[in-house]
Structure 1
Amino acid sequence: MRHFILGSFHRMSLEKFNKIKQILGEPNLEREGVAIYQMDCLEAMKKLPSDLVDLTITSPPYNIGKEYEELAKLDDYLNWCESWIGEIYRLTKKDGTFWLNVGYLEVADEGLAVPIPYLLWNRTPFYFLQEVVWNYAAGVACKKRFSPRNEKLLWYVKDKKSYTFNLDAVRDPNVKYPNQKKNGKLRCNPFGKNPSDVWQITKVTSGKNRSSVERTPHPAQFPMELVERMLKASSNTGDVVIDPFMGSGSTAECAIRNGRYVVGFELKSEYIGYAEQRIDRYLEDKELASRQESLEI
């Protein structure tokens, strides 16, 4: 019975994934389970019917003058964020989840490095479940203030009483005393400990001697480890995941590595090219590993 139920859920997800492609047309990048469009996410999402998506993971432009964004007045930027987040809410299933990664920006005459969560957290119909601090090792060095080493992840759910949370899938195996017992029972879960609300995950770095293995030319790349923790904790195999600001494709690669369907939007063709390269590289490596395994049997 369990296999039948799981199979039904997979078919429903596939139908929703195909429905998205039917409405939006041929993707600019399509692989099995992956559809990435060179479209404005707000315009694209408005075309889609409600209740299609299990999980959204994204990191939008921070309005700080990066090469992929145009600076806007603060109120215009916040109103724009409220608009596309509102569309995400409409597209999200009742038990669905939204993870939002944002950093800092300057508020004129008010503050130099104001966390965007302070400005955005309540401008959404989602229920704000928790803030997670992403602590990374590398970053700029400052002389007149402390060097910044964190960004925030805002964890939203549509229904505060019913949402996916797979703690065992993301437990931290680094336990100091894993075999410690009390009254004959292990004190620690055999899968590890709860990773808490502070995640120490290395940033995707650049440079001749310190460039990350997963590095692409994208100037603000999502680390795979960060995406994977959000994805595994808040979705299940076969679910539909969306990233309205796909960038270099970290969410897409992570999704197909973990058996999810993924839809993304990206305005810059070169960034879609970066996503294509990394997805194809993963698929090629997967095919080679499969062939090797078949030879060893």
Structure 2
Amino acid sequence: MTLLSNLIHQLGKPYFQTDQCLIYHRDCLEGFALLPDQSIHLTLTSPPYNIGKEYEKQLPLDKYLDWCEQWIAEIYRIAYPSGSFWLNLGYLSIRDRAKAIPIPYLLWNRVPFYLIQEIIWHYGAGVAGSKFFSPRNEKFLWYVKNPENYTFNLDEVRDPNVKYPNQKKNGKIKVNLKGKNPTDVWDFPKVTSGKNRSSKERTSHPAQFPIAVIERIIKASSNPNEIILDPFMGSGTTGLVALDLGRPVIGFEMREDYCEIAANRIEDFLRKKAECNAQLSLF
């Protein structure tokens, strides 16, 4: 019996299923209502930004913030006592007030979790500004349920690129042999599109996370066999990385075409992994 066995009885038949992965074509609020308290170790997601993208229905700002508060409160309820919540949100405009305000700044008093840190994702390529500095970052907010007891696996995500690896103090190597603690500014390229510059991992989803970003978060904030949740699954990057790192994963996604993209990516990943293991077993 897998860790997801009990939860599938609560959630019902998924759109896509493997032993360690459940994807539901469902509004996340409907899914949350079926999940028991303290059942999810790490939630990692990027909801719609309310800026009129093809995958969202744009709401008045106050309604959008109320909606965010509602689903975040549910994530808090289902979070494990030592669980974490990583939230990625971009920018939106407010008429006569702001051209591009970071959405987390509008939610600061609506989130019941404890904020550990804001992470800046510097993504390289982007829009070129003529009357403003060219934007090149988004925010990740790292929240925990209990600031005295949460998972942080620093050794799993250390940066091996140490400038002075042999530096000593009192005759002993000064730096950690596994590498240095990454800063709160992460340099990972965007998943780009285009005929000549499309990323290898690119799908048809218009707002796809790079695998490297999600890998760092899952390694740092969860342990093998702990359940990962992405309530806005999109192209399925969270599911793909979670499975690769030995974590069971649940995803909710409103659009069926995105469910299909995620399911196909995960099936392809599992097939290639099985083929690789079969080859290795020959030696």
Shorter-normalised TM range: over 0.9
The answer to whether structure 1 residue 279 and structure 2 residue 260 are counterparts is no
Letter in 1 for 2:178: F
Distance 1:67 1:175 in 2: 43
Q: What is aligned with 2:96?
A: 109
Q: What is aligned with 2:195?
A: 208
The answer to whether structure 1 residue 29 and structure 2 residue 6 are counterparts is no
Per-residue CA shift, 1:40-80, capped at 9, x if unaligned?
Answer: 00111012210100000000000001100011000000000
Give the counterpart of 2:70 among 66, 75, 83: 83
The answer to whether structure 1 residue 177 and structure 2 residue 170 are counterparts is no
Q: What is aligned with 2:255?
A: 268
Partner of 1:67, secondary structure, is coil
Query: 4+ residue stretches of structure 1 with deviation over 4 A?
Result: none
Distance 1:167 1:250 in 2: 22
Per-residue CA shift, 1:257-278, capped at 9, x if unaligned?
Answer: 0000100100111111111121
C-alpha displacement of 1:206? 0.4
Q: 1:121, 1:154 within 8 Å by CA — same for their partners in 2?
A: no
Distance 2:13 2:224 in 1: 24
Percent identity (aligned): 57
Distance 1:121 1:136 in 2: 24
C-alpha displacement of 1:180? 1.8
Per-residue CA shift, 1:115-151, capped at 9, x if unaligned?
Answer: 0111012311111111111101111111111111000
Give the counterpart of 1:291 among 267, 274, 278: 278
TM-score by length of 2: 0.98
Alignment of 1:225-236 (within 5 A): 225-236=212-223
C-alpha displacement of 1:184? 2.2
Letter in 1 for 2:28: C
Distance 1:176 1:32 in 2: 43
Greater per-residue helix proportion: 1
C-alpha displacement of 1:229? 0.7
Per-residue CA shift, 1:76-120, capped at 9, x if unaligned?
Answer: 000000000000000001100000000000012100100011101
C-alpha displacement of 1:32? 2.1
Letter in 2 for 1:57: L
Gaps (5+ residues) in structure 1? 1-10
Letter in 2 for 1:169: E
Partner of 1:227, secondary structure, is helix
Q: 1:206, 1:212 within 8 Å by CA — same for their partners in 2?
A: yes
Distance 1:216 1:121 in 2: 33
Per-residue CA shift, 1:214-262, capped at 9, x if unaligned?
Answer: 1000000011111111100000000001000000000000000000010
Gaps (5+ residues) in structure 2? none
Distance 1:191 1:226 in 2: 19
Give the counterpart of 2:245 among 252, 258, 261: 258
Partner of 1:277, secondary structure, is helix
TM-score by length of 1: 0.93
Q: What is aligned with 1:152?
A: 139
Q: What is aligned with 1:6?
A: none
Give the counterpart of 1:195 among 182, 192, 201: 182
Distance 2:180 2:19 in 1: 34
Distance 2:213 2:54 in 1: 23
Q: 1:121, 1:128 within 8 Å by CA — same for their partners in 2?
A: no
Q: What is aligned with 2:36?
A: 49
Letter in 2 for 1:66: K
Distance 1:117 1:44 in 2: 24
RMSD (CA atoms):
1.0
Q: What is aligned with 2:236?
A: 249
Q: What is aligned with 2:173?
A: 186
Q: 1:237, 1:259 within 8 Å by CA — same for their partners in 2?
A: yes
Letter in 2 for 1:99: W
